Amino acid sequence: MTKPGSLFLLLALAGTPAPDTGRASSAKIHEVLGGPAGYIDLRNTGATTLDIGGWSVRACTGGAAPVELATMPAGSEIPAGDHFLIAAQGFGGTVHQLVVEAIVGDGEMLLDRRGARVDSVGWAPSSPCRENKAAVPCPGLAQARDAVSRDTDDNKADFGCVRPAG
């Protein structure tokens, strides 16, 4: 590649989300409900406890890059097969590990502590959070994976509309 070509590639990649180097992780965005009473349910599909301290969730809000929504505090863990709930302030449920003002945007992205994308979901065709095809929008309902949190890296295939938890 020529030097001008290399520079162009570097500049083009500078504004993109972190690369998908963390895909082997057992952490999945299992369910999402947007809004001031919404939530993000993370699930550990692995056989051992997963340390998610320092990991973050970013929201795709229509801009060029996702914005920071939450950072998991040091010591945050998800036991094997269990869940970690990030809840908006208006969430009516009693179980949550982290509270944020609201679940915003047209998608959410989970990043490990190095900033590598682990998992994401987007329900707008232009959302930088989507994997392959966008999930079907679910007004008033949550987006959720199946019972085993199947992940084919295609949001349309992996997520469906369900009644919100809580």
Q: What's the average model confidence in pLDDT over 29-43?
A: 96
Q: How confident is the model at residue 96 (pLDDT cuts 50, 70, 90)?
A: confident
Which pLDDT belongs to residue 17?
40
How far apart CA 75 and CA 59 sit, in angstroms, is: 23
DSSP state of 133: S
pLDDT at residue 166, rounded to an integer: 66
Model pLDDT, residue 25: 86
pLDDT at 11 over 60: no
Residue 24 pLDDT level (bands cut at 50, 70, 90): low
Q: How confident is the model at residue 91 (pLDDT cuts 50, 70, 90)?
A: very high
CA atoms within 13 A on the CB side of 141: 12
Q: What is the pLDDT of residues 98-115, one digit of tens each?
A: 999 999 999 999 999 999
Q: Residues 155, 131: contact at Cβ < 8 Å?
A: yes
- Mean pLDDT on 122-135: 95
Decide if pLDDT at 59 tops 50.
yes
Greater model confidence, 17 or 125: 125
132: its two tokens: 């392959």
Asked if the model's pLDDT at residue 13 lies above 50, the reply is: no
pLDDT of residue 64: 78
CA dist 85 → 56, 134, 166 (Å): 13, 23, 11
Structural domains in the chain plus CATH codes:
18-162 (2.60.40.1260)
Non-local (6+) Cβ contacts of 160 within 8 A are 136, 138, 143, 144, 146
Sheet with 160-162, side-by-side order of all strands = 98-100, 83-88, 39-44, 27-33, 142-144, 160-162
